[in-house]
Amino acid sequence: MAKHDTQLSDLFHALADPTRRQMLTRLAEGPAPVSELAGPTGLRLPTVMRHLSVLEDAGLIATAKDGRVRTCAIVPEALTPMQAWIEEQRSIWEARLDRLDAYVMNLMKEREK
Amino acid sequence: MAKHDTQLSDLFHALADPTRRQMLTRLAEGPAPVSELAGPTGLRLPTVMRHLSVLEDAGLIATAKDGRVRTCAIVPEALTPMQAWIEEQRSIWEARLDRLDAYVMNLMKEREK
């Protein structure tokens, strides 16, 4: 449970940055060398490497070095735990009488005025 | 697009913390006062309020004050953009010849050894 929790935190944290999401979107088209991922970001190489390291630590990408070139590729199954968590929450949330919640919250907001 | 991007970042960031996910799981059962959400965390009230404020800023919860009691409730539709993003990525990723990617990465890792 604790391990699963850390994994979820790492995944959500990795996706909380638009540059990292942009890198993943590029990698969805196929593996790419670091230089190609760095290009559109306009960021310096050390910053790019830090973003890639966050993605790799979360298990979202794998990297391998061939000579002086490091190539990155997505790990498609990495999204599974996050997707499962969101879907589980969503089904619980929607099963609730959320209209009643909204109604109660509105009533309370009205009283607050 | 920029606005959508910020919204996604806020949502992923809000869910990247186990305490905040725990609060959402509790709220999935129904609205609750801050004191009830604070209880199981063992955190001091200002810290709890900061977590709740991150959740509220991301649009995941709504809060309303009735006298001295602030009540929180989930906003079920808040998960939609995040779920859509993950599902879109996933379908792109899976459509790719990911087995070929894995094969190439393994080849490269072998050469690295």
Averaged over A87-98, what is the pLDDT? 74
B83 touching A (Cβ < 8 Å) = yes
- What pLDDT is stored for residue B92 in this prediction? 80
Q: Given A21, A85, A105, which is nearest B73 (Cβ)?
A: A105
Residues 6+ apart with CB under 8 A from B88: none
pLDDT at A1: 46
Q: Given CB atoms, is B62 within the 8 Å cutoff of chain A?
A: yes
* Among B6, B88, B90, the residue to mutate for chain A (most A Cβ within 10 A): B90
- Residue B52: helix, strand or coil by DSSP? helix
Distance CA A35, CA A49 (A): 10
pLDDT of residue B90: 80
B7 touches chain A (CB under 8 A): no
- The pLDDT of residue A13 is 96
Minimum-distance CB partner of B111 among A66, A83, A94:
A66
Question: Given a cut of 70, is residue B109 above it in pLDDT?
Answer: yes
Q: Could A30 and B96 be called an inter-chain contact, meaning their C-beta atoms sit closer than 8 Å? A: yes
ipTM above 0.90, yes or no: no
Residue closest to B14 by CA, chosen among B91, B75, B93, B92: B75
* A56: CB partners within 8 A, 6+ apart: A62, A63, A72
Nearest to B28 among A15, A93, A102 (CB): A93
Position A101 scores a pLDDT of 63
pTM of the predicted protein model: 0.81
Residue A21 banded pLDDT, cuts 50, 70, 90: very high
Nearest CA to B74 out of A6, A98, A64 is that of A98
Question: Regarding beta strands B61-66 and A32-33, do their DSSP bridges make them parallel or antiparallel, or are they unpaired?
Answer: unpaired
Residues 63-82, chain A, touching B (beta carbon < 8 A)? 64-66, 71, 73-74, 76, 79, 82
- The values of phi and psi at residue A32, to 5°, are -150, 150
Give tens-digit pLDDT for A43-81.
Answer: 999 999 999 999 999 999 999 988 889 999 988 888 888
Given a contact cutoff of 8 angstroms between Cβ atoms, the answer to whether A84 and B73 are in contact is: no
**Measured between CB atoms, which of A15, A73, A94 is closest to B12?**
A15
Q: Which of A14, A84, A26, A17 is nearest to A56 (CA)?
A: A14
Which pLDDT does position A96 carry in this prediction? 67
Q: In this predicted model, what pLDDT tens digit does every residue of A74-91 receive, in sequence order?
A: 888 888 888 888 888 888
Q: Which residue of B has its CA nearest to A17?
A: B9
Cα of A112 vs its chain's centroid, Å:
37
Strand spans (E) along A22-60: 32-33
**pLDDT attached to residue B2:** 62
Least confident window among B9-13, B70-74, B83-87: B83-87
Instruction: Supply the angle between the helices B80-95 and A18-27 in degrees, to the nearest 10.
Output: 30
Alpha-carbon distance B50 to nearest alpha carbon in chain A (angstroms): 18
Inter-chain touch A86–B89, beta carbons under 8 Å: no
Q: What is the pLDDT of residues B6-65, one digit of tens each?
A: 889 999 999 999 999 999 999 988 899 999 999 888 899 999 999 999 999 999 999 998
